[in-house]
Chain A
Amino acid sequence: MTVTEAVTTQAGRASRSARLPTPRRKPRALVNGYRWWIPWLFLTPTIVAVAVFLIVPLFAGLFIAFTDWNVVSGIEGIRWVGAANFQELIGDPKFWSSLGRTLFYAGVGTPLTVAVGVALGIALNRPMPARGLLRAIFFLPSLVNTVAAGTVWLLLLHPTSGLVNDTLRAIGLSEPPKWFVSQEWALPAIVLMSVWIGAGYVAVLVIAALQDMPEELYEAATLDGAGALRKFTTVTLPGLVPMLTFLLITSFIGRSQSFGLIQFMTSGGPGESTTVLSYYMYEVGFHSYRFGYAAAIGVMSMLGVLVMSVALFRLQRGRGLYT
């Protein structure tokens, strides 16, 4: 029985292959020996998932940005307002101040995290005792739950009894920053915390990229008489450009959308000092039930991130070792 089936199948394949070169069939009727729809069949689950969870929400969000939808009014209560939400955004000082804080948070936090991560990665790539343990320790913060990490940082940066301010006072700084309690220092404190969380992850990826770097390049540079700094600027850094581009872009996008850390640490305060765009969007949507306006903030935020991502891509072009 099995033999017969196998023979039949093989015979079937043979006859199908034999029909391939016949001039009546269109050349694209088969793809790699399969009917054209077979690959689409296998792609369908992914396409459906992407459409349902990415494309539809994206365009739904875009549509909502042009309405004054408030959820409770239902689908039938959606009122088309044209560009009114975007016009309001232009005149909304809180939107601009939130945008400024987002740019500070992402614009300062991202390069700082990558810089610290690169330094750590290069340091931890050298042979040293307990290197594996050290790598694990530096990677650990990126695995820790935000609430747990936040609680520790609240204690560390407590204005009167925190370890950081105790240390600063011990070295002679009589009035150290009040960190999360101060309007001037709350956002920098969150940037600091985000660097602590993200640098270990950057370091691990940098180590992977460094280990992938051809040793011959360093040997050639040594033969040319290059010193350590020269090797770093002409070999290591250009070799890291693809990875750094990836890290800068993903980190920038992540920070532009950062919400959980701010929600837990400061809830946008003191005052509005840590109200970034994503938190403002949450306030407008979840507290004020202005989902149209919140969606408009989301669209503007997305366009901003898109522009910044393209700019970063353009900036790195031609600067990499392999480009």
Chain B
Amino acid sequence: MVSNNTRISRRGLLIGGLGLAATTTLLAACGPTEGTGGKPAATDKGTEDEGTLVVWGGVAPEMGPQALIDAFMKKYPKIKVEYVRFVNNAEGILKLDTALQGGVPIDVFFSYGTVDVARRSAAGLALDLTKLAGKDDQFKSFVQKKPISTLVDGKLFSIPTSMYPNYVALNEDALDKAGIDVPFDWTIDDYHKVAKAMKKAGFDVGAYNAPKPFPATLGGDYLYKDGGKKSNFDHPSYEDELDLVLAMEDDGSIFTQERITAEGIGGYAQNYFLNGTFGMMIDGNNVIRYAKNLNEYPHDFRVTFRPYPAPRAGQPYFNPGVRGDDVQISAKTQYPGAAWTFVKFWMGEGADHMTTAGKVSPDQFANPSEKMYENLFGPDRDKLFDVDAFDKTFFTDEPPMSVRAITTAYTEISTLKSQIEGEVRLRTKSVSDGIAELIQKSDEAIAKAS
């Protein structure tokens, strides 16, 4: 009985395998052919005040988008808006891409990061907004000669809806108790000293993470040189960065990579900050979103803020944070006029609704409102946050935020960087070997992508 079954199955498998191999060979025998790229044209079935929009975004509707949309539909009753949330991870990003490409009705969508913006724009999935922005005072700044956000082939396909400078959030009560004074014009060395002092004051480790002199010295395209033809890991600031991380791990200023990996701390650093395991962390407005939520993150200390520390005192540098959460209008939308009205509303009068999720739009950055403060910090604003320090840290143009323009093999290089840095931090690879390997593999990835 069993042997009969076996014989039949084996034969089936062999035939299947041979068939597959034969098909593979046949397909392989055919040479390469050139495909054609397609770019659908946009037509407007509605007007600037009339239409039906489907908006795909990564923020949960209850964190602001739904309130914003309700307010929008109240102001523009002839524009119907439906919000679809996608999770901003690899699977969610691919889901949006396949939906955009496959003809799912999407009029407005959000792209989180330069790589996604560049990919979707280059594939013709988004409308060119250059002319529209150039004619509109609200958006003129995005098409000025010196770019402040992502441009693809010199054109504006996306508009950043959120200012996300990096800064340092600190446990103010602990600083006061230990008598640690932290200046606003501080350096990376100062940061290290404060972290050591925090450790001495009784924290498990002083800080969650080390500052990054590499992007802070070079700005958004720090990974590249020669206009993106080569990787830039032989820049001295990268070696400084790795040396600093190892030194801070060694003296207990930050978590070791071993502990981060073993405990899966990566995505939950705020838990450790708010439960008092360490005294400071480099982040953006996300930290405020968690710190104001006393139900899930109970704590009794105030959070104060300091700017991203400078690599060297008195020298200009960059804030590694970016203008992000880019909004794009689908090239296939049937209501481009209504979509543009919606984008303007999201960036302007509707933006206060999004500050609940920690988002501050460029408009709000220029003219912060009381409503914005209320939504950003919640009802326990003065009890939980040093708002004056936040104002001095956040609402400043210096150091300038980073702007990324080059995306050649960006994902591959980021993955390699993360893997090799992990090995260096685990002490299974020396700094020099890690850098050499990173240069070699990144240059290969760039050559392949070019």
Q: Bound pair: A and B?
A: yes
The distance in angstroms between the C-alpha atoms of A320 and B423, with both chains bound, is: 48
| Given A310-B13, A320-B3: A72 and B262 interface contact (C-beta under 8 Å) | no
* B-chain residues with CB within 8 Å of residue A306 when the two chains form the complex: 13, 16-17, 20
Q: Pick from A62, A76, A266, A313: contact of B24, CB below 8 A.
A: A62
| Given A158-B263, A181-B262: A76 and B38 interface contact (C-beta under 8 Å) | yes
* A-chain residues with CB within 8 Å of residue B120 when the two chains form the complex: 72
Q: Pick from B14, B23, B258: contact of A310, CB below 8 A.
A: B14
Q: How large is the interface on A (under 10, 10 to 19, 20 to 34, 35 or more residues)?
A: 35 or more
* A-chain residues with CB within 8 Å of residue B262 when the two chains form the complex: 154, 158-160, 178-181
Tell me if A307 is interfacial: C-beta within 8 Å of chain B.
Answer: yes
Q: Pick from B9, B33, B261, B420: contact of A80, CB below 8 A.
A: B33
Interfacial residues of chain A within 284-323, with CB under 8 A of chain B in the complex: 286-289, 299, 302-303, 306-307, 309-310, 313-314, 316-317, 320, 322-323
Q: Binary interface profile of A, 254-297, with partner B (CB < 8 Å = 1, else 0)?
A: 00000000000010111110000000001100111100000000
Is B17 a contact of A77 with CB atoms below 8 Å?
Answer: no
* B-chain residues with CB within 8 Å of residue A36 when the two chains form the complex: none
Q: Binary interface profile of B, 65-99, with partner A (CB < 8 Å = 1, else 0)?
A: 00000000000000000000000001100100110
Is B91 a contact of A299 with CB atoms below 8 Å?
Answer: no
The distance in angstroms between the C-alpha atoms of A231 and B426, with both chains bound, is: 51
Interfacial residues of chain A within 97-138, with CB under 8 A of chain B in the complex: none
* B-chain residues with CB within 8 Å of residue A176 when the two chains form the complex: none
Is A270 a contact of B423 with CB atoms below 8 Å?
Answer: yes
| Given A183-B423, A269-B422: A154 and B263 interface contact (C-beta under 8 Å) | yes
Taking the closest CB of chain B, its distance from the CB of A292, in whole angstroms, is 11
Interfacial residues of chain A within 200-256, with CB under 8 A of chain B in the complex: 241-242, 245
Interfacial residues of chain A within 72-87, with CB under 8 A of chain B in the complex: 72-74, 76-84, 86
Interfacial residues of chain B within 1-49, with CB under 8 A of chain A in the complex: 1-3, 6, 9-10, 13-14, 16-17, 20-21, 23-24, 27-38
Is B3 a contact of A79 with CB atoms below 8 Å?
Answer: no
Q: Pick from B6, B16, B38, B426: contact of A317, CB below 8 A.
A: B6
Q: Binary interface profile of A, 150-164, with partner B (CB < 8 Å = 1, else 0)?
A: 000010001110000
Tell me if B100 is interfacial: C-beta within 8 Å of chain A.
Answer: yes
| Given A159-B258, A269-B261, A287-B415: A310 and B31 interface contact (C-beta under 8 Å) | no
The distance in angstroms between the C-alpha atoms of A299 and B20, with both chains bound, is: 9
Complex: chain B residue closest to A286, CB-CB: B90
Tell me if B119 is interfacial: C-beta within 8 Å of chain A.
Answer: yes
Q: Binary interface profile of A, 49-82, with partner B (CB < 8 Å = 1, else 0)?
A: 0000000000100110110001111101111111
Is B3 a contact of A66 with CB atoms below 8 Å?
Answer: no
* B-chain residues with CB within 8 Å of residue A270 when the two chains form the complex: 261, 419, 422-423, 426, 428
Taking the closest CB of chain B, its distance from the CB of A280, in whole angstroms, is 11
Complex: chain B residue closest to A275, CB-CB: B419
Interfacial residues of chain A within 163-187, with CB under 8 A of chain B in the complex: 178-183
Tell me if B411 is interfacial: C-beta within 8 Å of chain A.
Answer: yes
Taking the closest CB of chain A, its distance from the CB of B177, in whole angstroms, is 28
Tell me if B125 is interfacial: C-beta within 8 Å of chain A.
Answer: yes
Is B125 a contact of A72 with CB atoms below 8 Å?
Answer: yes
* A-chain residues with CB within 8 Å of residue B422 when the two chains form the complex: 269-271
The distance in angstroms between the C-alpha atoms of A268 and B422, with both chains bound, is: 12
Is A287 a contact of B90 with CB atoms below 8 Å?
Answer: yes
Tell me if B123 is interfacial: C-beta within 8 Å of chain A.
Answer: yes
Q: Which of A72, A183, A269 has the most CB of B within 10 A?
A: A72
The distance in angstroms between the C-alpha atoms of A269 and B419, with both chains bound, is: 7
Taking the closest CB of chain B, its distance from the CB of A302, in whole angstroms, is 8
Interfacial residues of chain B within 371-427, with CB under 8 A of chain A in the complex: 411-412, 415, 419-420, 422-423, 426
Complex: chain B residue closest to A74, CB-CB: B101
Is B411 a contact of A287 with CB atoms below 8 Å?
Answer: yes
The distance in angstroms between the C-alpha atoms of A76 and B101, with both chains bound, is: 10
* B-chain residues with CB within 8 Å of residue A302 when the two chains form the complex: 20
The distance in angstroms between the C-alpha atoms of A186 and B120, with both chains bound, is: 37
Is A313 a contact of B426 with CB atoms below 8 Å?
Answer: no
Is B119 a contact of A72 with CB atoms below 8 Å?
Answer: yes
Complex: chain A residue closest to B429, CB-CB: A271
Is A62 a contact of B20 with CB atoms below 8 Å?
Answer: yes
* A-chain residues with CB within 8 Å of residue B419 when the two chains form the complex: 268-272
The distance in angstroms between the C-alpha atoms of A299 and B263, with both chains bound, is: 36
* B-chain residues with CB within 8 Å of residue A241 when the two chains form the complex: 2
Complex: chain B residue closest to A289, CB-CB: B119
* A-chain residues with CB within 8 Å of residue B94 when the two chains form the complex: 71, 286
Is A242 a contact of B9 with CB atoms below 8 Å?
Answer: no
Tell me if B314 is interfacial: C-beta within 8 Å of chain A.
Answer: no
Q: Pick from A59, A70, A299, A323: contact of B3, CB below 8 A.
A: A323
Q: Pick from B3, B16, B101, B258: contact of A72, CB below 8 A.
A: B101
* A-chain residues with CB within 8 Å of residue B30 when the two chains form the complex: 66, 80, 82
Is A84 a contact of B97 with CB atoms below 8 Å?
Answer: no
| Given A82-B32, A242-B2: A178 and B20 interface contact (C-beta under 8 Å) | no
The distance in angstroms between the C-alpha atoms of A65 and B26, with both chains bound, is: 13
Tell me if B179 is interfacial: C-beta within 8 Å of chain A.
Answer: no
Is B17 a contact of A307 with CB atoms below 8 Å?
Answer: yes
| Given A271-B423, A287-B415: A72 and B27 interface contact (C-beta under 8 Å) | no
Q: Pick from B23, B38, B420: contact of A271, CB below 8 A.
A: B420
* B-chain residues with CB within 8 Å of residue A282 when the two chains form the complex: 90
The distance in angstroms between the C-alpha atoms of A162 and B263, with both chains bound, is: 11
The distance in angstroms between the C-alpha atoms of A245 and B14, with both chains bound, is: 17
Tell me if B264 is interfacial: C-beta within 8 Å of chain A.
Answer: yes
Q: Pick from B14, B32, B90, B119: contact of A84, CB below 8 A.
A: B32
Is B101 a contact of A181 with CB atoms below 8 Å?
Answer: no
| Given A82-B31, A270-B261: A73 and B123 interface contact (C-beta under 8 Å) | yes
Is B10 a contact of A314 with CB atoms below 8 Å?
Answer: yes
The distance in angstroms between the C-alpha atoms of A125 and B264, with both chains bound, is: 40
Taking the closest CB of chain B, its distance from the CB of A273, in whole angstroms, is 9
Is B37 a contact of A288 with CB atoms below 8 Å?
Answer: no
* A-chain residues with CB within 8 Å of residue B6 when the two chains form the complex: 245, 313, 316-317, 323
The distance in angstroms between the C-alpha atoms of A194 and B259, with both chains bound, is: 23
* A-chain residues with CB within 8 Å of residue B101 when the two chains form the complex: 71-74
The distance in angstroms between the C-alpha atoms of A71 and B349, with both chains bound, is: 36
Is A303 a contact of B17 with CB atoms below 8 Å?
Answer: yes
Complex: chain A residue closest to B40, CB-CB: A74
Complex: chain A residue closest to B123, CB-CB: A72
The distance in angstroms between the C-alpha atoms of A211 and B85, with both chains bound, is: 52
The distance in angstroms between the C-alpha atoms of A289 and B90, with both chains bound, is: 10
- Give the 9 A-B residue pairs with the shortest CB-CB distance, closest first: A72-B123, A83-B28, A79-B35, A323-B3, A286-B90, A242-B2, A80-B33, A76-B38, A271-B423
Can you list 23 residue pairs at the A/B interface with Cβ under 8 Å? A62-B27, A66-B27, A74-B38, A77-B123, A80-B30, A82-B28, A82-B29, A82-B30, A154-B264, A159-B258, A179-B262, A181-B258, A181-B262, A241-B2, A242-B2, A271-B422, A282-B90, A287-B412, A288-B412, A303-B21, A306-B13, A310-B14, A313-B10
Contacts A80-B32, A313-B13 known; list 4 others, CB within 8 Å.
A72-B119, A72-B125, A82-B27, A316-B6
